[in-house]
Structure 1
């Protein structure tokens, strides 16, 4: 094929999802998808715990994509989470010398360099910067902000930049697994950025919204205010924590606990109790760890466990984090939840109450060639990675085009 082929890879705690597309003038056409659900634990909380196991699964995904597309997978766009990435906005003001001259690109580079120093000075030495996204610039303290201040005159310039940091070692492990499977990593994006590209409209970014990628092993967020990315974060908690809670409470296996969660767990348990819903008293038969002894519990007991853990994740972790941004209360497009754990019963209602914001489910956008099966929240990250990928051009190295694309994306 002469067309540009793009492959994205989403490595999750419960699944490995690969998707390949062709870039056409009208957009990206999907030509291959593969999902593998590991039979043993090889990734935990977004971190590699079995290098050989992950490599073998990734190799299997690449093999399937090659069979579907006729193309060998040589480079991929990678999505990461795992609680080892964090993005925040940093600001710095510098003098223009001599005063009153036109601002140049070198001034913006100096500003960027100073902000990099600030960001790295506040974290451990095992952190590295993955992306720096310009947010806004002010000249001489003016209230108005400039997207591109080059050519304007001033005495001082202040910049606000979103800096995304990652722990070095977990990322190295992931990249090495992909290399061992025969491909190079072309670019790395956080899960929350990819999900945002897949499920959000431009109007939602402009009005302000919070994206929550609620996975099995990790939960990732991206907060947008006035079309600018203000916070991006990843937490080492997810739907798998609910499974563990139920397993301990009911003395059953993790797999059976997960089924109980999906079939009988209601996140809006408190409201159901107030409404005296009779189905909460429904008896549910469970199998203990021995696999022989059967006992009974109720929908109410299962739902209470689910409710308590989801409330902790959404209220005590996410809400506490985003409330550090003073403008969070002004977001106009509410909460968008995606990811494999987003379809829990009553989750949207509980989110409404916790954040005091309307909440909707994040479904990936329609794309040419994509099967309806993959237009589900759990596949939003992989699809979004394709949408984030800039067009490759021979005139510039790929990394420069990625920089250009990602900087323009947030304006």
Structure 2
């Protein structure tokens, strides 16, 4: 069956797209809320990011087992409605003037807990209504819609924040989560699929089995360690980039949204060419090349404050509207946007291949645990990297912190390059349907 004729996948794809728009609107609004509305620092931004991802570190290894005890659709719907309520609460507190950085930190911990459960269910839900040979194509479609959302959602969020303030932009993010949950309610056929109950031992044994699969597999193991290192670099970047745009370049909320849109445009191109390049070069080789490009892109972004300085010191915040920017600031904006485009172009190439490979080589009964184990450790690296990035940017500069992130990502690429993953190929390594049933 072609994906476009799979009604369950089409509805799931639509729900994911709506949720993706909400994610990028929320990201921009939350960043401006902390750094501008609440006058926070890069370190505050890092601490809020750490709180958002801390549940992955604390509960992550249990998430896959918990998810397996419920229908994946139920978990996804609960996660969307719960996150919608938390964002609505942030909006209300912001409008009433009761919001502070500690309050945002606490609420984002709850938001992250719900996101953890949804993420664990998301990867294990897709194979219930998409055949294994089509998983890479399905993940490519999902990531393509994610990149479109990133391109337009970030720009819309930047303009929206400039017009109606960050709390009301968070309300729009809340509405998208409610819409996503409502769409998932219509997946009645997929709801009939019962989760694979794990009756094969104690909780400790089930966690151990998931860990052994992730780290003991000859190719998933190196990929996992490499990705953990990558997430430390990514966390540094995610914390520092908004501070660089809002505090160093002083481009305002719209400028931040437009730069993040450059990331989305790059990712759109990357996802459209991902499968074709993966077929030509193989999964392993393609992902290694993509990861080698990313440190270069970060180094380009780190140069943008030096280019802006050519036009003199930026003592006042630039106008929220690009027409008022001086030439040097436009040049810095172009360099930062170009770096984002290149970085996310490589991410767009890598993402569908990585997701499809993991799902294709993992038995169905282990997919939730594989997903939860990897995500918990990856997001746990954000808890480590985000405060480091914020502290490093505060003590030195945003550019130095970005170069440090580039160094960590280079290390991540080298781990893959000198491992068995370089020969990984989804066509050769995936389980057959019969093997999946047996295992």
Q: What TM-score does the superposition give when structure 2 sets the normalisation length? A: 0.25
| Larger radius of gyration between Structure 1 and Structure 2 | 1
Query: Whose helix proportion is higher, 1 or 2?
Result: 2
Query: Whose strand proportion is higher, 1 or 2?
Result: 1
Q: What TM-score does the superposition give when structure 1 sets the normalisation length? A: 0.26
